Copies of this chain bind each other. A is one copy, B any other.
């Protein structure tokens, strides 16, 4: 019996000996697999593929395990290439306060940076150093020789054109750095000069146009490393990279374009014909970059913060009247950051959205069925519990716990319990929620069954008030606690919260009570998730 590509298949064995179940790290070395590995037995059905290997190992691959990934998100294939007219109906922008308060707004802004190469945050307080806080809302500041942040304004004795009032042609920043900063932020503190407007050009679009119109020129730029340099008293940065960087399959992955920093004297080593071809291609690309229809012009107002992909977008500004002490001034603060962290933050936000979508579908599907003989549906029961928690002014984590306390009954698991098998639905719900929610949510959920057993022991008369279904399940779940068990439970850090949830649980079986919608609780649920991804200002 054989399977195609045995090493690939075996490399992806998802068993707990091969992959750490927590983070998915692979636990063996590719060279640990024996030479001549083959499958000696395979079985495939709707649940997936099972393989017994020539070295005795067994693997089970769930259906869909090998779904191909989307395109590399850093290449042109994952982008929306644009020209100015594509934004006739408005820029990708958001209000800073909404961005901070609403994870879906954050998702939209970060997705725009990945897809269109930029987004504009409005209303970021026009205060010094705020740009750092914007960067930390999705990633980490890349400190450079310019500092954690840099000021873009007219300086008395500038070493760099940026610090004059002159126009600056479209360029990417810091091409002389490797790794180049993949993100740039520019926060406008003041802009009341005549002139000083901003411009953006999609460098991937410009490169794609060059490829379309002059494939040979495109190929020359992609294969010619160009030396870039920046030099001041304490700095001498050099990098040698092509103007158009491709992935190994030929997709556009990076553009570096900055006339000011080229150090082309060093190109003298090129073959003479190649040198002429390079200059013809360079001038042709430069002409495309300057096409008016590619350039998106707009004006930064105080409080605007532009976030842009510095591996793709070129930015520019028009000349302005420099401030003279009586007239206007233009002052931006900028910093650098990196795309990988932004992308991570976006993925985790989407993970949160995805789990809420899944929960909402369960509430609206399976949850609308019978709830273990009670007079309300399972969904109505949990939604009522959450409404009671909300009405009691409980903190968000506890409202979330009340809302989600019985999700362990989903997937038909509740029937097992009624049939006399403890389905341990507190534990299973907590395990399902743990990747997304902190212990303040998952622990009261995990312990809410134990809380019933505790109250039967600790609170006289409690057992008498249980519903008939609850009395039935109590026995399956272990009956009332012993006094020692009850004392241990009372001392548990989340014991009291579990008891609180339990009381809402008992009260949430009223067929006449109003039932809120799951959607109402989505913002609160997002807010209750792990802080690392959802509380933007990390410090």
Interface positions of A (Cβ within 8 A of B): 4-5, 7-8, 11-12, 20, 22-31, 33, 65-69, 72-74, 140-145, 159-161, 169, 177-180, 182, 222-225, 227, 229-240, 242, 247-249, 259-269, 272, 275-276, 278-280, 282-283, 286-287, 290, 338-341, 343-344, 347-348, 351, 435-436, 530-533
Tell whether A161 pairs with B224 under 8 Å between CB atoms, given A5-B272, A178-B340: no
Assess whether B225 is in contact with A72, with CB atoms less than 8 Å apart: yes
In the bound complex, CA of A341 to CA of B177 (Å): 8
Copy number in this complex?
Answer: 2
Residue in B23, B140, B180, B247 whose CB lies within 8 Å of A225: B247
Residue in B24, B67, B276 whose CB lies within 8 Å of A268: B67
In the bound complex, CA of A20 to CA of B161 (Å): 9
Assess whether B340 is in contact with A264, with CB atoms less than 8 Å apart: no
Assess whether A530 is in contact with B233, with CB atoms less than 8 Å apart: yes
Residue in B223, B242, B248, B290 whose CB lies within 8 Å of A222: B248
Assess whether B140 is in contact with A264, with CB atoms less than 8 Å apart: no
Tell whether A231 pairs with B28 under 8 Å between CB atoms, given A69-B266, A223-B248: no
In the bound complex, CA of A351 to CA of B232 (Å): 11
In the bound complex, CA of A269 to CA of B72 (Å): 12
Assess whether A26 is in contact with B237, with CB atoms less than 8 Å apart: no
CB-nearest residue of chain B to A273? B5
B contact residues around A160 at 8 Å (CB): 23, 25
Assess whether A25 is in contact with B225, with CB atoms less than 8 Å apart: no
Tell whether A235 pairs with B25 under 8 Å between CB atoms, given A290-B31, A341-B145: no
In the bound complex, CA of A8 to CA of B530 (Å): 56
Tell whether A279 pairs with B249 under 8 Å between CB atoms, given A179-B179, A227-B69, A233-B530: no
CB-nearest residue of chain B to A339? B178
B contact residues around A266 at 8 Å (CB): 68-69
